[in-house]
């Protein structure tokens, strides 16, 4: 059961706008070292805290859905891209799937039951996940991961 004070955030990735060229290398690094830190833009920068849960969602091209998770590992900081200033945050990733090669938590699953109350295709990265949905989301995510990693034995 999640800590009732813990918050969770949804970080969007659109492969149409930004290629993740080395995702397979990153997955392998996570599997071999147990560590992978990446930075993401964050809309809810005023409410995030180190240790909050983070979920990575693929947007744009199918398959769309959650393909990674972790915990926020830094305070928000300012960054510049194409002349625009925005907030970023480091995420210590604890699970990462390649959506083009592995089964992910698709929108079909995320739009069932209470989970349908959340916007899973946000316009901005780093939005808050509704607190009463965090435990259910975590359970569904862990079920998928256990099927992915242990269902192949």
pLDDT band (50, 70, 90) for residue 45: confident
* DSSP conformation letters of 121-141: S-SSSSEEPPGGGHHHHHHHH
Q: Look at residue 143 in the predicted model and tell me its pLDDT.
A: 95
pTM, entire model: 0.92
Q: Is the pLDDT of residue 2 over 50?
A: no
Whole-number percent of the chain with pLDDT over 70: 93
Read off φ and ψ for residue 47, nearest 5 degrees: -115, -5
Rounded to an integer, the average pLDDT of 112-141 is: 95
**Contact criterion met (CB below 8 Å) for 14 and 121:** no
Q: Is the pLDDT of residue 153 over 70?
A: no
How far apart (Å, rounded) are the C-alpha atoms in residues 130 and 34?
28
**Contact criterion met (CB below 8 Å) for 126 and 48:** yes
Q: How confident is the prediction for the chain on average, in pLDDT?
A: 91
């Amino acid at each position: 059961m999640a800590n009732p004070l813990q918050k969770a955030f949804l970080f969007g990735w659109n492969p149409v706008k930004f290629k993740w060229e080395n995702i397979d290398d990153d997955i392998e690094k996570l599997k071999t070292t147990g560590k992978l830190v990446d930075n993401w833009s964050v809309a809810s920068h005023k409410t995030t805290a180190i240790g909050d849960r983070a979920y990575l969602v693929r947007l744009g091209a199918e398959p769309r859905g959650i393909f990674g998770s972790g915990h926020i590992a830094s305070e928000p900081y300012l960054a510049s891209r194409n002349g625009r200033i925005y907030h970023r945050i480091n995420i210590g990733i604890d699970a990462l799937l390649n959506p083009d090669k592995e089964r992910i938590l698709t929108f079909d699953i995320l739009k069932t039951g209470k989970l349908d109350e959340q916007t899973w295709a946000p316009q901005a990265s780093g939005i808050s996940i509704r607190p009463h949905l965090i435990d259910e989301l975590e359970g569904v995510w862990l079920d998928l991961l256990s099927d992915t990693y242990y269902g192949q034995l």
